[in-house]
Structure 1
Amino acid sequence: MKTSDFAYDLPLELIAQSPTERRDESRLLVVDDLNELRDSHFYNLPEFLRPGDTLVLNDTKVMPARLIGTRAGMQRPVEVLLLKRINATDWQCLVNPGRRLKVGSKITFLPGELSAEILDYSDDGSRIVHFEFQGVWEEILDKAGTMPLPPYIHEKLKDQNRYQTVYAKEEGSAAAPTAGLHFTKELLQKLADMDILPVYLTLHVGLGTFRPVKVENVEEHHMHTEYYVMPEKTAEIINARKAAGGRTIAVGTTSCRVLETVADEQGKVRAQHGDTSIFIYPGYRFKIVDGMITNFHLPESTLMMLVSALAGKAEIFAAYDHAIKERYRFYSFGDAMLIHRQDMHDFKNK
């Protein structure tokens, strides 16, 4: 299986540069039949789900993870993106310009308050960075850092909270779980009132989610680990509702990856926490996930491969062709897709 098999052409004007005025006013493409695609809006999501379904959402919160500093002898600003915390002072980071920042390089962000030194680097482009700071780390980060919007977004975000879900709680991500950006508190309550129950887990989005695939043979790609938590209460609810005949709908690829990490071969999930490097691509047999709410993903990405594994590659490409023709908005601030079947038995393992 080749990485180029997951390429497609997208007109640049379809890359959403800002969110819709209201979160749930985004469009929703429903993939619910082998031969039918339905155009709708996200506020109509309850029409396509049913009582007994469980929505599994990722409650991670995006950090102000983008730091801009200076290095002695360099005129160009230095950018450091926090990815994963190692201990109280050290982080896995992406740095730019990478070639100029060797081991031992020192960077100043806030004179007298926040500085850093490159400790180590690896072939994947990430660095281990040691931070020196005065005061409480979270307060310093709020002061020095900014929201790390993806590089394809060129407009300034007016409201920083629009790059957070309304249920964001556990700080630690370098990027938002964007499928969840469409939900409002009112919509979540409406779903709960219909016995379409939202439950929460955590995966801190880091290098594993958005690192590009650089090998042509898909099977040779290495996913980097990301930290997750499956709470005991969430696991109990998912198992009980699944046993009662309800479907488990992952909200986003991050929730999907956690669910499939913690599920056993009998389709039961267990409470646990740790790091996951699960890589899902066509041929994978899903153990627990019955459907997914997701955004439209970059070509040749691991996320494109994951949704193709769930719905079928031909079906996903047909849906993307339709979305481009109908002028859907793509990527982080773009529109959404619901992938599901009334009977998931033949759908999951295409």
Structure 2
Amino acid sequence: MFDWIQHLADWVVYDTLHLIKGQHLAEALNFFIYDSIKILLLLFVIIFFMGIINSYFPIEKVRNFLSRNKLFGFEYLMASLFGVVTPFCSCSSVPLFIGFVRGGIPLGVTFAFLVTSPLVNEVAIGLFLGLFGVKITVIYVISGVLLGLISGLILSRFKLERFLTPWVKEVLASAERDEEAFVAEKTPFIKRLPIIWDEVLKIVKGIIIYVLIGIAIGGLMHGYIPHGFFEQYMSKNNFFAVPLATILAVPMYSNASGILPVVQVLVSKGIPIGTAIAFMMGVVGLSFPEAMLLKKVMTFKLIGIFFGVVTLCIIISGYVFNIIL
């Protein structure tokens, strides 16, 4: 399917620039050209498709639906699935999280959304398809949704509302529930297309620099770091590789578009895919900037509990990936 892109990359690197195959620079540049074109094409397709979904299920209406309907535990799954169709990093998910809390949605349900949203979205899906194929993408999406679902359910059992900040408690005390009936949009699909396309361009413009930087870093690693360099430290034989990768990822911060090309190279260099994905989940789903934003609505104790539960779930996911893949 993507053979023409590889031929184009080879033509640019070897025929036009006259670099020698096997050289570090040639391998790095070839990787950058091939992955840049492939990933950007996939991003346009996936984001456009998800834009259609978003146009029929806008954020405010989903939030209101969740606040009014208690579907015997399925609201956790629905919140996690809603996280899949929102193209946000962990920091930009926080304002929506605050909106959920203000709307009266249970805290565990809001956590399910907050965990899934930065991990699994149209950008991450497009990148995963291009870098790892359909099988791993499907497993990753399912695991990301389950990660949000399980984290939300666990956190809901702790009755953590008492650890919300006074500001949130005041908001909740004075909040009025909107009981107006849900009114579906009547705009014809053909008239939605220009709006959807504008949103696609807006999203791509917002992430393209991160995509290119991530691919460039991946290209340098691909071309210059010897095969097996990482494997000696993070092989399947090292039982602590998954938690180590997850914990080391927390001080870092990036979105899926920036870190996934790096993950691809780590896998190609010998790191087990579960360990590499646990590292990615830690970078994307847990970060100091996110913690600082959450301080508006949570006490430090609640932030610590939230990070601890999500970290544990990510580590378990990493081990499961290593077993099944």
Fold equivalence (TM over 0.5): no
- TM-score, L = length of structure 2: 0.24
- Of Structure 1 and Structure 2, which has the larger fraction of its residues in strand? 1
- Of Structure 1 and Structure 2, which has the larger fraction of its residues in helix? 2
